Structure 1
């Protein structure tokens, strides 16, 4: 016998749960589609680098690398052709002024020096002999002058006496005798004038001949001095208290005139030569403070020179030290330098985004408050430092910016961060 059963109706709450589940699924799908539609490009958060805008003291500086070089470098060169006999001092040794570094040899120069000495001695002897001869000639002329003077004065006295007698009319002196005496006196007076003129010429000749001999002696003396200097230059000595940087010669080697023998540099008188990128050089000026890092120590200095030319995309900046150099400082040591351009007491700044230029307007990506999106915004940038840059307009304190390379999404106004 069959028993009929009445079907049981499903509870109303079950139907509600089913419809609620369907609504949630549909709403989630719609939200997801809406979320995806917010940005046309997505990127994982671990592929980007961000930084938050900060306010405070901002230091503007530029950095460059370089080396330490001596302020005063001197190359010692050979003044003559010679052979290196012995290298006394090698590179790296400290030397005092006048200390022997390299000994050269040239027998021809030494022989020339001896011959020049002998020739000078012969010239001196010849000059003394000529001087004595001219002095004797002067004495002879003075003697002739004296005889002529005495004869003239004697004849003049005789003429004066005869003139008185002749004028008296006593007839003791005839007119013929008086005229004869008068003519002799005139003749002797003329001879006296000639001897006097000849004496002056002899004196002038002595002076001229003496000057000529002295000129020849001076020339020979200079020749001897030059020969002596050439021989002395075979001993290459330090010209200042310094460190020998290089000795590019060895024993037995022949060197030509002007060939380099040794390179000297003052040990504690160094400067830093920094290479600054050309895009950062515009704010660098003489007198700005610099921090030089030798890897082991830091020392302060100031900019002393900015090269006017750009070489291979960088500009050379010379730095003079204001502090004592550390013990590890030596020529050709690689160093890093940070040039302090200026300080801004209260301003906005962030870590420098890639490709951001100082004093420019740039498009940066600002991260939303929930960290899920980044939207392109226009930011006015101010002065830039090594790793940071000033914000003039477009951002506020606490806002986050993507500072890593945006090249793969820079065509999108808004990106999604997963």
Structure 2
């Protein structure tokens, strides 16, 4: 019986299988290499070129125009708002009536002050009459004593001759002489008493006049308050604020209106607390008012921080654009420093001054490599590059922090 041998597979078939396996392995390895690189879409990123040249460092801010001179009108007495003639934003001249107030209590106080003044004047008149009567009494007594002294002096001279001749006794003459000395002393005392009485009268009159002056001053103050119930503009300008409403009751010291001079304006800027450390008095400021830009100077930096910002006052030139007015919203750029030759780029996302950040620099083969860049000061939309990349390179300024942490080249699709 014959045996049938199986046919041997051809060697070419093994070669084909081996080649296919090798191709699969190569493709797999290439795919693994490609997949090991992260990728981003070009349409989803922002790219900026690193530039070199002169750069002005500035701090951008916003704010509004205010009057360089402001005048606050306060209520001088408790009253009720009766009429409002002008409201906030109105342009007024000095002396214009802004509002009218009424105060029944003040009317009563004026009447009481007038009555008190009349009473003080009446008391003074009564005092004058009393003083005149007292002076007349003193003068009458003094004249009587002086008349008696003259009579007694004549008697003294006559008795002196008679006593020397022995016609009258020495005792009688001595009594006359004693009476004469006593009368002279009484006259001296009356004269001193008259002087003291006159001084007392003068003091009483001074007090009475002072009382009248006080009453007159009180009345004048009340009359002035009564006149101030007509709230008048103390200067020409614009009403910046006027919080009154009809029927509103105001108390002493309450604000009635805030008037700002429209002759001179200043800019009040709100600067972030993190950037105000570079702002100093005297620095130039470019203030933008709608379509116009004017140049000013930093006048004052407020030491108080409010809501993470600091108020900076900027002086403005006397001649301003027509649209310049109080409370106009403005934007401004405070010039901090001029750099003659700086390397800078448009500010990347999350970039901070004087810190190092990893960005991706574009290459010519549709890839981007991570580069550690040290930033300096920033200004507006630009930030200075201290080291890490040269001018001409293109950087991805979008936020790719999640890829930068991998520290590997990325592909651009």
Q: Taking structure 2 as the reference length, what is the TM-score of the superposition?
A: 0.83
Q: Pick which of 108-117 and 211-220 moved more.
A: 108-117
* 1:407 maps to 2:401: yes
Alignment-derived partner of residue 36 in structure 1: 34
Q: Distance in 2 between matches of 1:71 and 1:32?
A: 73
Alignment-derived partner of residue 6 in structure 1: none
Alignment-derived partner of residue 369 in structure 2: 375
Alignment-derived partner of residue 12 in structure 1: none
Displacement after TM superposition at 1:344 (Å):
0.9
Kept in 1: contact 2:237–2:261 (CA 8 A) = yes
Kept in 1: contact 2:142–2:191 (CA 8 A) = yes
Kept in 2: contact 1:301–1:323 (CA 8 A) = no
Secondary structure, in 3 states, of the residue corresponding to 1:357? coil
Please give the residue correspondences for 1:211-250 in structure 2 after superposition, counting only pairs within 5 Å.
211-250=206-245
Deviations 1:1-49 (A, max 9, x none): xxxxxxxxxxxxxxxxxxxxx9xx99x9799669738x62122223222
Q: Pick which of 245-254 and 383-392 moved more.
A: 245-254
Kept in 1: contact 2:70–2:258 (CA 8 A) = yes
Q: Distance in 1 between matches of 2:302 and 2:27?
A: 65
Kept in 2: contact 1:302–1:322 (CA 8 A) = no
Please give the residue correspondences for 1:137-216 in structure 2 after superposition, counting only pairs within 5 Å.
137-152=134-149, 155-156=152-153, 158-159=155-156, 162-163=159-160, 166=163, 170-216=165-211
Match of 1:47 among 44, 49, 74: 44
Q: Distance in 2 between matches of 1:160 and 1:36?
A: 155
Displacement after TM superposition at 1:254 (Å):
4.1
Kept in 1: contact 2:48–2:395 (CA 8 A) = yes
Count of residue pairs the alignment pairs up: 390
Please give the residue correspondences for 1:15-34 in structure 2 after superposition, counting only pairs within 5 Å.
none
Q: Taking structure 1 as the reference length, what is the TM-score of the superposition?
A: 0.82
Q: Distance in 2 between matches of 1:307 and 1:108?
A: 43
Unaligned runs of 5+ in 1: 1-21
Deviations 1:119-143 (A, max 9, x none): 4235324423421431342243234
Kept in 2: contact 1:383–1:390 (CA 8 A) = yes
What RMSD in Å do the two structures reach over aligned CA positions? Answer: 3.1
Alignment-derived partner of residue 58 in structure 2: 61
* 1:289 maps to 2:264: no
Q: Distance in 1 between matches of 2:299 and 2:29?
A: 64
Kept in 2: contact 1:60–1:343 (CA 8 A) = yes
Displacement after TM superposition at 1:184 (Å):
1.0
Q: Distance in 1 between matches of 2:311 and 2:219?
A: 48
Q: Distance in 1 between matches of 2:273 and 2:108?
A: 59
Kept in 2: contact 1:77–1:261 (CA 8 A) = yes
Please give the residue correspondences for 1:343-382 in structure 2 after superposition, counting only pairs within 5 Å.
343-368=338-363, 370-382=364-376
Alignment-derived partner of residue 384 in structure 2: 390
Match of 2:92 among 88, 91, 95: 95
Distance 1:305 1:128, change over 3 A: same
Alignment-derived partner of residue 273 in structure 1: 268
Please give the residue correspondences for 1:271-350 in structure 2 after superposition, counting only pairs within 5 Å.
271-322=266-317, 324-350=319-345
Displacement after TM superposition at 1:272 (Å):
2.6
Kept in 2: contact 1:300–1:323 (CA 8 A) = no
Deviations 1:180-200 (A, max 9, x none): 221111211221122123212
Q: Distance in 2 between matches of 1:31 and 1:299?
A: 65
Kept in 2: contact 1:354–1:403 (CA 8 A) = yes
Displacement after TM superposition at 1:252 (Å):
4.4
Q: Pick which of 67-76 and 183-192 moved more.
A: 67-76
Distance 1:195 1:373, change over 3 A: same
Kept in 1: contact 2:77–2:106 (CA 8 A) = no
Secondary structure, in 3 states, of the residue corresponding to 2:211? helix
Q: Distance in 2 between matches of 1:107 and 1:277?
A: 51
Q: Distance in 2 between matches of 1:278 and 1:395?
A: 30
Kept in 2: contact 1:371–1:417 (CA 8 A) = no
Distance 1:160 1:41, change over 3 A: farther
Q: Distance in 1 between matches of 2:161 and 2:285?
A: 110
Distance 1:323 1:85, change over 3 A: closer
Q: Distance in 1 between matches of 2:156 and 2:196?
A: 31
Secondary structure, in 3 states, of the residue corresponding to 2:297? strand
Unaligned runs of 5+ in 2: 1-19
